[in-house]
Structure 1
């Protein structure tokens, strides 16, 4: 595959494209600009909600971002949501009821559109007082479709918590994780970064065999498997989660060492 070149570049943000200070290096910006100038689309595929995509527009002013682990497609230029696969209220209500019974102390929040709502016991780690963020009773959080349900537990370890969430959710929705905390991200059934990327790639007439995707956490596994199965490149960062490393075709430098740019230069 020494002469292989991508027709679409997809990258996770946190721990991948972004350094730990939430910035993108000049070298990475320049490398992405070079590929974009050659007509190769750059697509962000992130667990972040649309409201957390404001700063990245200073780096990537055009294109589509796959947000909320595939549930939302965001046009970066107009900053409008162009597609959304939502969790139905009936599923939300069943899941939160069973999780609260199985794991007392679990607290919930929801993402939808450009809004974030959390119940009083849920403690957001970022954007606590930002526009669009508000507290609401759990009963209100589950009465309308949402892009993502967040379940957090402040007293449990991450791995066993996420495993139990997966058992409770079963085949009603999709569970992913991208945090070292006991935080599970729940999307509509079958919705992953792979499904979101597939929609964007189809709009560009590109198949998974012509995609390179970068990531670092388990919520990137679906996209890695989709691309790898077709003959594309699934590139894990050096510090990536072991489960993602097992799904990768390649490994590059860490996000702090411009791993995305280094791999793209090698192509």
Structure 2
């Protein structure tokens, strides 16, 4: 195995926001053994403090579900794929037809733009005060939207995605990744985690057979399917578990660390596979 790709929230970041000492040690061992480490997250750049705190200036992070490539060591944006302003307007119109009470926000290369009513329950999605969202504004266009967010308070996330997903897919990629809140995440139509990871790995001369990836939510589906060794967390969404070839114990059981330890210790001839969240 030459590259370890891992989601953050629900995969190595626990419900209390922490990364366990065992997980930190497993990643450090993997890096010391010569494996490349890349975190592939739906989080924006400004939410990378847990990675910095746990691993220091580790290197490159793929953010915003693949829309952003960020050099953590140099603290520099390497690349960003943004959504065309006209596509944002059309996406909003499609969503409002299906869900008239939907609220919106936009993550740009520079910060967060909040629509009216979006941040009512800000603690649930980690948002903070941001610029007022105006889809036609020059500021939004100049900054470039890397993730467009839509929230429903009447449907579950899966139902919300089912209601609008097919109508949106010609304009944007659309997924969701938050437990306990109905929040759709949209990006450039050609963006998902697997596309960004594939391009990053190719730059290192690494193919999918040499990649092990970990994730837990629908925004990880393509990455888990692309990687030669895709592990869904047993504590994750059923769609992620169905998409992955292997299953790791849940995040609270240090599932990623346990799989990496098994590989590093060479105790098995193939990637270790858990049958469920209670396996020890």
Q: Normalising by structure 2, what TM-score? A: 0.86
Alignment match, 1:134 = 131
Q: Is the 8 A contact 2:62 2:69 kept in 1?
A: yes
Greater relative CO, 1 or 2 (CA 8 Å, sep 6+) = 1
TM superposition shift of 1:167: 2.5
In 2, Cα distance between equivalents of 1:198 and 1:83: 15
Give 5+ residue unaligned stretches, structure 2: 264-280
Q: Is the 8 A contact 1:110 1:148 kept in 2?
A: yes
Q: Is the 8 A contact 2:18 2:50 kept in 1?
A: no
Counterparts of residues 114-263 of structure 1 (less than 5 Å): 114-123=110-119, 124-125=122-123, 126-129=125-128, 133-140=130-137, 144=141, 145-180=144-179, 181-227=181-227, 232-263=228-259
Alignment match, 2:103 = 107
In 1, Cα distance between equivalents of 2:132 and 2:126: 13
Q: Cα distance 1:34–1:118, how it changes in 2: closer, same or farther (>3 A)?
A: same
Q: Report how many aligned residue pairs link the two structures.
A: 256
SS in 2 for 1:179: coil
Residue 56 of structure 2 is aligned to residue 51 of structure 1: no
Indicate the larger mover: 20-29 or 212-221.
20-29
TM superposition shift of 1:56: 1.3
Q: Cα distance 1:154–1:118, how it changes in 2: closer, same or farther (>3 A)?
A: same
Q: Cα distance 1:213–1:53, how it changes in 2: closer, same or farther (>3 A)?
A: same
Indicate the larger mover: 148-157 or 7-16.
148-157
Q: Is the 8 A contact 1:108 1:151 kept in 2?
A: yes
Question: Which deviations, in whole Å up to 9, do the C-alpha atoms of 1:185-210 show, x marking residues without a partner?
Answer: 01111210001111221222211110
Question: Which deviations, in whole Å up to 9, do the C-alpha atoms of 1:208-229 show, x marking residues without a partner?
Answer: 11000001111100001111xx
In 2, Cα distance between equivalents of 1:114 and 1:263: 36
TM superposition shift of 1:128: 4.3
Q: Is the 8 A contact 1:253 1:260 kept in 2?
A: yes
Q: Cα distance 1:127–1:157, how it changes in 2: closer, same or farther (>3 A)?
A: closer
Q: Normalising by structure 1, what TM-score? A: 0.90
In 2, Cα distance between equivalents of 1:37 and 1:69: 27
In 2, Cα distance between equivalents of 1:73 and 1:209: 22
